[in-house]
Structure 1
C-alpha cells in the first residue's frame, strides 16, 4: 500500500509562474487593499471593482504556466498516494498533472451563485454584474473571502490526520486556518518545510525538516531525499 503524502501549498508555489503572492508584506494584493477586493463588505460596497479585480487575475492566470514545483509535486504520484491541499486559487497544480487537489480558498476559474454557494460553475471569461445562473441568481467569484467560512477545512483536517508524510511548500505558516493544519498531523508523520525564508516552527513541532530553498528547487531536493 502506498504511503499517504499530503502537500500543503501556498502562494510561493505559484510565484515562480509569475503569479503575485496573495498578500504582500504591505497588505496589498496586486496594488489593491485586500479589504476592498477580498471581503463580503468590499463586494457589497463596490461590486464592479471586485469583478474587475478578479477578471484581471483570471486573465493573468490563463497566461501563466505551471513551474518546476508544480511538476515535481505532480510526479510524486508515481510513488505515493498524494493529496494537494492548497491555499492557492489558481489551477496550476491541476495543469501540471496533480489529480487530487483540494482548494481551501476557492478557485479563480469558477464562479458561484450569490444565493446558494454550492452552485458553482467553470468560468474562464470575464464575469459581469449582469451574468446569472439558470435560476436567475447573480454570480460572484468562487473565492473564500476574509470573514467567510472555509468550507473544505474539515475535509482537509481529516486528510492531514491520515498522512504519513506532509510537505509544506510556498506558505509562510502564518495564514490561518490553513497554518493550523499541521497540528493535526500524526506524531509519527514526517514533515518537510520548503521555504527560502522559513518561519519559526518549534511551536508546531521540533522534528520538522526545513529545506531553505525556493519552491521549485526545494521540491527537487525533497524528491531526492524521500
Structure 2
C-alpha cells in the first residue's frame, strides 16, 4: 500500500488540507505548482479524515494502519486519483470504503445488486439513473453490461461495498467513463482502526470548501 506524495505549504499547519477551490472567506487555496495537499499520516499513525462514513465523520482523527493487508469487513481510506475512479469527480479525493472481498473472489451482478459469498450489495438504480452495471471497468477489462455475469476480483484489487465512481478510458478511439466497484491496493492509504478524537478547526475549514 502506498501513500500520496505529500508536500506542505510554508506558514500553514501540517494538518491543513489544501485541496480547496474556494475556502473560508473566499480565499482560493492552491499548493506550490498547483498540486493539491493531503493530510499526512503522522508518526503515531493518526490521520484527520477529509470524508466520512461507516460511523466516522469529516475531521475525525483516526488511527490508521498503513501496513495491514485489508480483509473483508475492514474500512479503508483510499486515494480516488490513484485508484483512477475520479473521472468527472469533484470532492476531496480521499474516501472511505468497506472491503467486502479480496482478489480471487467471485462477484455476481444483477440489475440493482451484486453478491460475493455472503455479502449482498445494493447498486443505485431506477428511473432517471444511468445504469451503473453498464460500461464497467473491471481490472484491465471493459464490459458493456455486467448484469447476469460472475466476475473474479482482479489481483491487486479489493471489492468495495458500493459503486465507487468512474474511470475514464479510451475505448475504440473515444473517451468513455466506466463504473468502478473495486479499489486498487496501490490506492489504499491504510485500514482505519479506530477513532481517536475530532478536529473542530479542520471541520470548520472543510465545511468552507466549495468543489
Task: Give the TM bin, normalised by the shorter chain.
Answer: under 0.3
Q: Which one has a larger percent strand, Structure 1 or Structure 2? A: 2
| TM-score, L = length of structure 1 | 0.23
| TM-score, L = length of structure 2 | 0.24
Structure with the larger RCO, 1 or 2 (CA within 8 Å, 6+ apart):
2
